[in-house]
Amino acid sequence: MDANETRTIIITGGGTGMSRAIALAFARLGDQVVILGRREDVLRDTAEALGPAVSWQRADVSRREDVEAAVSAIVARHHQINVLVNAAGFANGVNAHTPLAEAERRWDDTVGANLKGAFLMSIAVAPHLARPGGRILNISSIAAYTGGSRGNSIEYAAAKAGMHGLTMGLARDLSGQGITVNVIAPGFIAETEFTSGWSEERVRQIVAQTPAGRPGKPDDIAAAAVFLASSGASFINGEVLNVNGGWLFGR
């Protein structure tokens, strides 16, 4: 890809927290960014706040029909996609004592948004990725290794661990075409919807276990995404990049 070429970046996740920071980072590089999510008001507000380089498309990434429609619309406007960032996801909270019917509902919702959504988006976008130079980045979690910092995260940990396998499978399939696929596994990231309700005591305990001595910020994840999407990362493929301040390493 020419250094002056304007790239098209798709970021799922609704334009909040890490997704918003990633969108802003790519927009500042001069890329055209499209944010996807289910909440039109959030998407619209984020796109307006981040400027003309950022547009939005409503889609529930757990629904194939939404994914197909969104990707078709983006390709019609931009013709080619350079980077897909699968950042959509949430946790519903499932533990071993959750009633079975409720556990199943929460499992389906969480796995749908996190894992199935990344799968559907990746398969839908793959034919339109730049060759060579296309990138898929999946946003996982430290919970893929730990099962969650305090339990009650069975469905979330499973979905995020599944994203690691998805990443490796996609990397095997696409690397021969000059496309890399990697996964970023954040630790505790403050200033996000996901962690906004965590108590001060819980945050203090995590920071005390973190060699960096501070919580992560959405910008930390955005910086990792920008690097993995760059030409300088073209020989990094099928990897898990842990961004957790040293809370967990050696994996």
Q: Residue 1: its pLDDT value, please?
A: 44
Q: What is the pLDDT of residues 192-222, one digit of tens each?
A: 777 777 778 888 889 999 999 999 999 999 9
The answer to the question of residue 3 being in a domain is no
Nearest CA-CA partner of 238 in 186, 178, 172: 172
Number of domains within the chain: 1
- Report pLDDT digits (tens) over 118-172: 999 999 999 999 999 999 999 999 999 999 878 889 999 999 999 999 999 999 9
Within a domain: 112: yes
Per-residue model confidence as pLDDT tens digits over 72-110 = 999 999 999 999 999 998 888 999 999 999 999 999 999
Could you tell me the residue range of the domain that residue 82 belongs to? 8-242
Asked if residue 168 is part of any domain, the answer here is: yes
Catalytic residue among 56, 156, 194, 247: 156
Q: How many C-beta atoms lie closer than 10 Å to residue 246's C-beta?
A: 12
Q: Is 251 within a domain?
A: no
Percent helix, strand and coil across the chain, each rounded to 5?
Answer: 45, 15, 35
Does 156 qualify as catalytic in the annotation?
A: yes
CATH number at residue 121: 3.40.50.720
Domain annotation covers residue 250: no
**180 within a domain of the structure (yes/no):** yes
Which pTM value belongs to this model?
Answer: 0.95
Per-residue CA distances from 118 to 13, 67, 214 (Å)? 11, 10, 29
> What is the crossing angle of helices 100-111 and 154-174, to 10°?
30
